[in-house]
Amino acid sequence: MKTCTACKINLDISKFAPHAHFKDGFNPRCKNCIIEAGKSRRDRSIEIPEGSKYCTRCKEIKSLSEFFKSNRSKDGFYWTCRTCTNEVNGIWASKNQKDAKRIASGAARRAHVRRKYNLTDAEYKELVVAGKGLCSAYKSPEIITHKNGKVWELCVDHDHVTGKVRGLLCHACNRAAGAINDDPARLRQIADYLEERRLL
């Protein structure tokens, strides 16, 4: 049994469409509510002004700035406005706190990478595959783990002058490069120093 986030009715799991994004493998809204939402979009005769969108939940026409972006819709924006989306997500999160924290952590990380490095999830994964999951500098896998035992993702390394992504580094190498301000000469001096003092 599962409770639909739209109609709030506890229904048999067969009433929900499969959805890989969610932990239980099913859409949070039942099939009937999804169909009704689709009808509300198709049946409306109100003209939508350019730069605006119809929210399928509160039934209001709002500016596109009031909607989250989404790569799953034709116009590039979510079907429900920010207020409605946050409300629905809040209801779900209050009932599934552990899953909400897990999803929020991963979402925050992906948003940070997109915002700071202009790097999509797919592009990040391509870098991981190209480097065989290893640190671009030390050629070893990441070893630092979260409290839950999961290994951290490799850090995105970028040129601080041009902003261009150079590769992926483990946390140790990324911190070391930052500590010396990306100065190769200084890094070589440190390496020489360690070699000279190795036997002391």
Q: Dump pLDDT digits (tens) for 166-200.
A: 999 999 999 999 888 889 999 999 999 988 887 76
Hey, is 52 helix, strand or coil?
A: strand
Predicted confidence (pLDDT) per residue in 116-140, tens digit: 888 888 888 899 999 999 999 999 9
Query: Of 8-17, 19-28, 72-81, 160-169, which range is least confident?
Result: 19-28
Angle between helices 97-117 and 121-130 (to 10 degrees): 80
Predicted confidence (pLDDT) per residue in 54-110, tens digit: 888 888 899 999 998 876 677 888 888 999 988 888 887 788 777 666 666 666 677
CA angle 173, 142, 181 (to 5 degrees): 15
Domain with CATH 3.40.1800.10 in the chain: 118-196
Give me the pLDDT at residue 41, please: 52
CATH topology of domain 118-196: His-Me finger endonuclease fold (3.40.1800)
Distance between CA atoms of 62 and 129, rounded to whole angstroms? Answer: 41
Beta-carbon contacts of 183 under 8 Å, excluding residues fewer than 6 positions away, are: none
pLDDT band for position 49 (50/70/90)?
confident
Task: Answer whether 0.75 is exceeded by the pTM.
Answer: no
Query: Distance from CA of residue 135 to its chain's centroid?
Result: 22
Distance between CA atoms of 141 and 54, rounded to whole angstroms? Answer: 47
Give me the pLDDT at residue 48, please: 84
Burial (CB count within 10 angstroms: exposed 0-12, middle 13-18, buried 19+), residue 185: exposed
Q: Are 142 and 171 in contact (CB under 8 A)?
A: yes
